[in-house]
């Protein structure tokens, strides 16, 4: 599609061949140096001393517990934000009410806050010196320097992902189909499960994989609330930091390569969803012109 568009450009609306080549070359050099080389270097450094040491990095109990904690954190934080995102999108995209745009801005707030500040606010609430600190200590509940704090900080930094994806999508789709289902006698929940959800499932998946990538990779916010207790409260990114600071570069990059792999899978799924929705839009347009 893009190629045919470029080909149809007349000489008057494109640049001389040498300019095109120069600009393409410059852009690719920049992308190569700034994106591709760092990505390759992660895998190169991880495998620098061979596959044996690489594999050994993952048999370390601390690494295994970091992997486990990362998976647990994402498994709690992502579904929580999924439910929130769907509820928020339903309220915001399907109803007109006062303060709607303020609500949208508030939902986007966590993206504007520095990750370190995001961690700090939970320390101020639940830490030993925090608002609820004395009460929590009395009841022997640990949130900061424990798993609940890590989950809370992760929920905060991934808060807007699903909602931000669904609100514009549901606004664009409109509510005609849902209204038709209701008129035909479907209940509210039936309408949601059988009409709304199938319509938004790809947008939902898009938001979820981005939230998941961030949840598994978050560093700043989690670092503040975790307390860095080895084998207990270290996620993979925190484990990477510890190994790196101990000059265990193979171990650090081996764990980092797991996260880089996750990033590549995320990008692949994301591109697939974008490609699919572009193709659907193209088909819709073709059907519209044929009729």
Partner 1 sequence: MAFKQASVLPGFNLSFGYTIFWLSLIVILPLTALVVKTTGLDWAHFWSTVSDPRVVATYKVTFGASLLAAVINLFTGLLVAWVLVRYPFPGKRLIDALVDLPFALPTAVAGIALATLYAPNGWIGQWFAAGTPLGNLFGPEGLPLAFQPIGIVIALTFVTLPFVVRTVQPVLADIEQELEEAASSLGATRWQIFRLVILPTLWPALLTGFSLAFARAIGEYGSVIFIAGNMPFKSEITPLMIISKLEQYDYLGATAIAVVMLVVSFALLLAINGLQWWSARRLGRRN
Q: Least distance in Å: CB of 287 to partner 1?
A: 22
Q: Which is nearer to partner 1, 51 or 95 (CB)?
A: 95
Q: Which is nearer to partner 1, 15 or 283 (CB)?
A: 15
Q: Which is nearer to partner 1, 56 or 273 (CB)?
A: 273
- Using the rule CB under 8 A, is 270 a contact of partner 1? yes
Closest CA to 204 of 83, 95, 108: 83
Q: Which is nearer to partner 1, 98 or 290 (CB)?
A: 98
Report how far residue 228's alpha carbon sits from residue 231's, in angstroms, rounded to the nearest whole number.
Answer: 9
CA dist list (Å): 122 to 107, 128, 170, 220: 18, 11, 32, 13
Residues 25 to 54: which contact partner 1 by CB under 8 A?
A: 26-28, 30-31, 33-39, 41-42, 45
Report how far residue 46's alpha carbon sits from residue 253's, in angstroms, rounded to the nearest whole number.
Answer: 5
Q: Which is nearer to partner 1, 75 or 111 (CB)?
A: 111
- Using the rule CB under 8 A, is 13 a contact of partner 1? yes
For the beta carbon of residue 72, count every other beta carbon within 10 angstroms.
Answer: 14
Supply the DSSP symbol for 14: S
- Using the rule CB under 8 A, is 205 a contact of partner 1? no
Burial class (CB in 10 A: 0-12, 13-18, 19+), 121: middle
- Using the rule CB under 8 A, is 57 a contact of partner 1? no
- Using the rule CB under 8 A, is 190 a contact of partner 1? no
- Using the rule CB under 8 A, is 136 a contact of partner 1? no
- Using the rule CB under 8 A, is 147 a contact of partner 1? no
Q: Least distance in Å: CB of 64 to partner 1?
A: 18
Residues 218 to 257: which contact partner 1 by CB under 8 A?
A: 218-220, 223-224, 236-238, 240-241, 244, 249, 252-253, 256
CA dist list (Å): 223 to 70, 111, 114, 137, 234: 13, 17, 13, 22, 8
Is residue 156 a contact partner of residue 118, using CB atoms and an 8 Å limit? yes
Give the binding-site size for partner 1 (rule: CB under 8 A).
106
- Using the rule CB under 8 A, is 7 a contact of partner 1? yes
Report how far residue 287's alpha carbon sits from residue 135's, in angstroms, rounded to the nearest whole number.
Answer: 63
Collapse the DSSP code of 16 into the 3-class scheme (helix H, G, I; strand E, B; otherwise coil) and give the result.
Answer: coil
Binding mask 93-122 for partner 1 (x = CB under 8 A): -xxxxx----x-xxxxxx-xxxxxx--xxx
**Binder of partner 1 out of 67, 91, 205, 232 (CB under 8 A):** 91
């Amino acid at each position: 599609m893009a190629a045919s568009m470029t080909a149809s450009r007349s000489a008057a609306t494109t640049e001389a061949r040498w300019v095109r080549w120069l600009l393409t070359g410059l852009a690719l050099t920049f992308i190569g140096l700034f994106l591709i080389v760092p990505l390759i270097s992660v895998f190169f450094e991880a495998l620098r001393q061979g596959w044996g040491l690489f594999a050994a990095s993952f048999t370390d109990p601390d690494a295994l517990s970091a992997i486990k904690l990362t998976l647990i954190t994402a498994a709690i934080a992502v579904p929580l934000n999924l439910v929130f995102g769907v509820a928020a999108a339903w309220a915001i995209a399907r109803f007109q009410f006062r303060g709607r745009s303020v609500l949208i801005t508030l939902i986007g707030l966590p993206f504007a806050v520095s990750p370190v500040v995001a961690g700090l606010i939970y320390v101020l609430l639940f830490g030993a010196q925090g608002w609820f600190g004395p009460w929590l200590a009395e009841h022997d509940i640990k949130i900061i320097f424990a798993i609940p704090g890590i989950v809370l900080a992760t929920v905060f930094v991934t808060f807007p992902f699903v909602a931000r994806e669904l609100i514009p999508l549901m606004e664009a789709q409109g509510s005609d189909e849902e209204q038709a289902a209701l008129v035909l006698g479907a209940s509210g929940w039936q309408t949601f499960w059988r009409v709304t959800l199938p319509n938004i499932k790809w947008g939902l998946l898009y938001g979820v994989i981005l939230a998941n990538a961030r949840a598994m990779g978050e560093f700043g916010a989690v670092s503040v609330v975790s307390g860095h207790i080895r084998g207990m409260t270290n996620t993979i990114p925190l484990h990477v930091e510890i190994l790196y600071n101990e000059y265990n570069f193979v171990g650090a990059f081996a764990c980092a390569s797991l996260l880089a792999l996750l990033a590549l899978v995320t990008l692949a799924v994301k591109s697939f969803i974008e490609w699919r929705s572009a193709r659907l839009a193209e088909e819709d347009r073709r059907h519209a012109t044929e009729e």
